[in-house]
């Protein structure tokens, strides 16, 4: 800074003028220094302000980015939860339907079991009645006469009583008597069952395990013999 001053110094002593000039110069230098310091301070504050503003902008940008990430994560979490809830609900509905179906099947099976049990009880009662008849009223028939009889090669066979599934057979139903007499003469083992080509042709008690009883003797004066067995058992006539 340059300062140019025109002064009228004609009436001022030379020494006083010099002192006044030096003081003014010092004041001017001090003012210049103060202004420079203020300018430097202002520049420094401006730089610091710019840095703070940049940091603030960075923080705002990072906050916005983090907020967006958090919102996206929350949305994804909500979607995952909704999907899992829907899947769980679907599985539960399927399980409930399956349980309902199984309960219905169980109820149906129980009814079938009860029905079969009632049928079994009825058949057992019939079997008991047949056994009583065999031990009582039919004893005379066994003693006095045979149901089926044949003689081959001098060997006589008499069959006095045949029962299958608790049902007595008193006549040659579908050749039952002929087949039994054939097995009695041949001593060949046979199976107690019904069906084509089997000893018995009729199933008196479908779906239930049955038993058979055959009372016979050889050569008219021999001892009475018994064949007893459950359905599908293999048996044979014994003795002459």
Please state the φ and ψ torsions of residue 148, each to the nearest 5 degrees.
-130, 140
- Residue 137 or 62, more confident: 62
Q: Per-residue pLDDT for 201 more than 90?
A: no
Lowest mean pLDDT among 8-17, 141-150, 209-218: 8-17
- Residue 206 or 144, more confident: 206
Residue 1 confidence (pLDDT): 44
- For the segment 99-116, what is each residue's pLDDT rounded down to a tens digit? 989 899 888 888 888 888
Q: What's the whole-number average pLDDT of the chain?
A: 82
Alpha carbon distance, N-terminus to C-terminus of the chain: 159
Residue 141 confidence (pLDDT): 47
- For the segment 33-57, what is each residue's pLDDT rounded down to a tens digit? 888 888 988 888 889 888 888 888 8
Residue 9 confidence (pLDDT): 55
User: What residues contact 200, with CB distance under 8 A and at least 6 apart?
Assistant: 164, 176, 192, 193, 194, 212
């Amino acid at each position: 800074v340059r300062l140019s001053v025109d002064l009228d110094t004609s009436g001022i002593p030379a020494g006083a003028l010099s002192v006044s000039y030096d003081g003014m110069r010092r004041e001017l230098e001090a003012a210049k220094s103060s202004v420079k310091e203020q300018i430097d301070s202002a520049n420094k504050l401006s730089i610091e302000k710019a840095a703070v503003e940049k940091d603030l902008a960075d923080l705002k940008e990072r906050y916005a980015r983090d907020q967006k990430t958090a919102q996206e994560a929350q949305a994804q979490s909500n979607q995952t939860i909704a999907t899992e809830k829907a899947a769980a609900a679907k599985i539960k509905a399927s399980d409930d339907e399956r349980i309902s179906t199984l309960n219905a099947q169980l109820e149906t099976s129980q009814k079938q079991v009860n029905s079969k049990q009632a049928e079994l009880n009825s058949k057992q009662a019939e079997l008991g009645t047949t056994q009583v008849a065999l031990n009582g009223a039919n004893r005379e028939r066994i003693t006095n006469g045979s149901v089926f009889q044949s003689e081959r090669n001098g060997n006589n066979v008499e069959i006095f009583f045949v029962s299958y599934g608790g049902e007595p057979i008193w006549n040659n139903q579908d050749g039952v008597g002929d087949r039994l007499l054939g097995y009695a003469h041949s001593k060949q083992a046979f199976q107690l069952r019904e069906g084509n080509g089997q000893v018995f042709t009729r199933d008196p008690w479908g779906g239930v395990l049955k038993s058979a009883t055959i009372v016979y003797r050889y050569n008219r004066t021999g001892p009475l013999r018994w064949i007893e067995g459950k359905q599908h058992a293999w048996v044979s006539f014994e003795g002459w």
